[in-house]
Structure formats: C-alpha cells, structure tokens
C-alpha cells in the first residue's frame, strides 16, 4: 500500500510540474529554457519535478512577481462603488440626475381608479 501511495505522489508531482511549466512564460523560468525543463521533468522521475519546483520556476529579477493576477469584483472596488452613489444635496438627501426638484412621488392629487 505504501508503494502505491509513493507512486501516486510521484505521478501527481510530475503532472503538476509539467502543467506549471507549460503555463509559465520563458521569462519566469530560471537556469534552463522551457523545452529542457519539460524534458528533465519527464525523463528524471522524482528529481526532475522537484528540482523544477525548487529552482526552475522562480521569477527572474525585474520580471513580474505574480503571473496570475487576482481578479477584483466591481463591488470590491471603492472607486466603482463611489461612482454608483448618487450625489447628495446639502441637506443629505440623495438626488438622481434624471429627476428634477419639482417632481413629487406622492399620488395624493390623483383620483382613485374606478371600473
């Protein structure tokens, strides 16, 4: 049973290293070019993927440190939320751009509907 777990762990690390190497840019790889890293990962069963993970995938100085940038939802962006907030008058009442100050929303002057 222990041998099966070791074999599965080696296969998992190898698959992870191959996918990570394929998705990375040439500028993010150190020491070897991408085709040689792929060859080393696949030919040297355990040590190839481990060496790639420890040495090969660290970004070079001057290259972007994060290759997968996190997406920010609009409702997490304070500038976006501020743009949605309608302007307020001096008394704190919110006013919409399309409504005039003379518009009233009450229906007291309208006669009731009869059928």
Q: What is the pLDDT of residue 77?
A: 75
Is 80 a domain residue? no
Find out whether 42 and 18 touch, Cβ atoms under 8 Å: yes
pLDDT exceeds 80 at position 98: no
Average pLDDT, the chain: 76
Q: How confident is the model at residue 9 (pLDDT cuts 50, 70, 90)?
A: very high
Is 94 a domain residue? no
Angle CA 42–67–83, to nearest 5 = 155
**What range does the domain containing 31 cover?**
2-56
Find out whether 4 and 12 touch, Cβ atoms under 8 Å: no
Is 38 a domain residue? yes
What is residue 75's DSSP assignment? G
Is 7 a domain residue? yes
Number of independent structural domains in the chain: 1
Whole-angstrom Cα distance, residue 23 to residue 108? Answer: 66
Is 91 a domain residue? no
Find out whether 75 and 81 touch, Cβ atoms under 8 Å: yes
Q: How confident is the model at residue 36 (pLDDT cuts 50, 70, 90)?
A: very high
């Amino acid at each position: 049973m222990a041998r099966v777990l070791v074999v599965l762990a080696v296969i998992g690390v190898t698959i992870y290293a191959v996918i990570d190497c394929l998705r990375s840019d040439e500028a993010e790889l150190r020491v070897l070019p991408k085709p040689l890293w792929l060859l080393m990962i696949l030919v040297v069963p355990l040590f190839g993927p481990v060496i790639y993970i420890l040495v090969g995938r660290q970004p070079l100085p001057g290259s972007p440190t994060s290759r997968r940038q996190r997406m920010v939802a609009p409702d997490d962006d304070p500038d976006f939320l501020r743009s949605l907030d309608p302007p307020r008058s001096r008394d704190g009442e919110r006013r919409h751009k399309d409504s005039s100050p003379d518009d009233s929303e009450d229906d007291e002057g309208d006669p009731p509907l009869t059928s």
